[in-house]
Amino acid sequence: MKIKTSLCAGAALGVFAIAGAAAAQDTTTAWKGAPQWTNDDVQFKVRGRVLLDTVFEDVDRETGADQNFREFRGRQVFLGVEGKLNNYIAYKIEGGWVNGGSPSWDDVVLEIKPTDSTSIMFGNIKAAGLENLTSTRFTTFMDRGPFGDFGVDSYLASAVVKANGMNWTVTGAIQGDSLNSADVTAGEERIGATGRVSFAPVLTDTTKVHLAASARWRDHGDESAFNYQSRPNTNFGSRYVSSGAIGDKDTTFAVEGAVVHNAFSLQGEYANISVDRLNAGASAGGDPNLKVGYVFASFWPTGEMRNYDAAKGEFGRPKILNPITAGGFGGVELALRYDWADLSDAYSSASTAASRTLSQDAGKYRAWTIGVNYYPTGYVRFQANYTKGENDNPVIGRDVDVDVFQMRAQLDF
């Protein structure tokens, strides 16, 4: 069951924590985008982010009217707190507005640390996927593409156990739906289990190598059947490739890899999703296998290096060598990306006219994206992405070509 709570709870917690920190003795203050207060084992920090996007999208349909879109929006406006009560209990609470909608939760985490290398976490949590686990604040591209849309799960109400060493992690999670989803009052909520293992066989000052694998099993319960669908490497607009709501259960196996050598990096992920079709009514048919992945390369002409954390198995905030606050120019990252998704088996395995209509957009998606990121400092970023995508769908007249140009101004603290 999900918990629907006012975002005011996070603000109230922040007020009490600030008051406690102010009353403590020998409190020290550090600046990490915002003040961070520390007293012995107790720590508290206000956190937040503002992501302002501009999106231009040209849609060219095989049949039907072409369309041009233009949108200015607040992609994310979040505020929260994080800290620890002692060396064994930590927390992180953040929420706000996404795309101008109603307030919702992002990170909501209560963490128990029995030892320095193990964590037990409860809350709205991600469990797998290299790009998925890397915060939107630090991803090389503005959006995660089809792999992020259905290859992995975003924030879900979860119980997670994680162990790590200097160059490895092992994660296991039991998951429901998001804390932002409505309660299921007429049956059972979805349930899933995810496991991930990561390992860094090379970890030097100049070169990092990341390898990982994950597995996921899900049952949709009495919620809507799983629908495998994606937008063209943007969070704006329509989804032009979609299996339709066909998934009763599914099993996903995924692999990850990344190489960082000084200013150059290469990263990719691939997943195969075996779907147990909800074999009834308009979704009748066989069980399809769906495939999705991406690969990208990036380069910092200003000499920076992507910040890989092998003890977490994810990327973090880049260190800008010459920020404008020190009289420098800032940092520049150039990137090129290729995404693909193949949902065609959902259509070819459909057994009735109704199920083929349901999966009429279960085709193949291919896209190239080029990106430029400029960091005046480590806490401010300006981004520009251009994507040229093709949606080749199985039904004649359903193909869609999409060109997307989008820009972002970002501040986080």
Check residue 5 and give its pLDDT.
44
Q: Residue 94 corresponds to which tokens in the numbers above? A: 């953040």
Check residue 346 and give its pLDDT.
97
- Are 373 and 336 spatial neighbours (Cβ–Cβ below 8 Å)? no
Phi and psi angles of residue 19, each rounded to the nearest 5 degrees, phi first: -65, -40
pTM attached to this predicted model: 0.91
Phi and psi angles of residue 220, each rounded to the nearest 5 degrees, phi first: -75, -10
SS3 345: helix
Q: Residue 214 corresponds to which tokens in the numbers above? A: 């994950």
β-pairing, 104-115 vs 380-392, is unpaired
Q: pLDDT below 50 — which residues of the chain? A: 1-24
Percent of the chain residues topping a pLDDT of 70? 94
Q: Residue 173 corresponds to which tokens in the numbers above? A: 């999670």
Check residue 25 and give its pLDDT.
60
Check residue 26 and give its pLDDT.
82
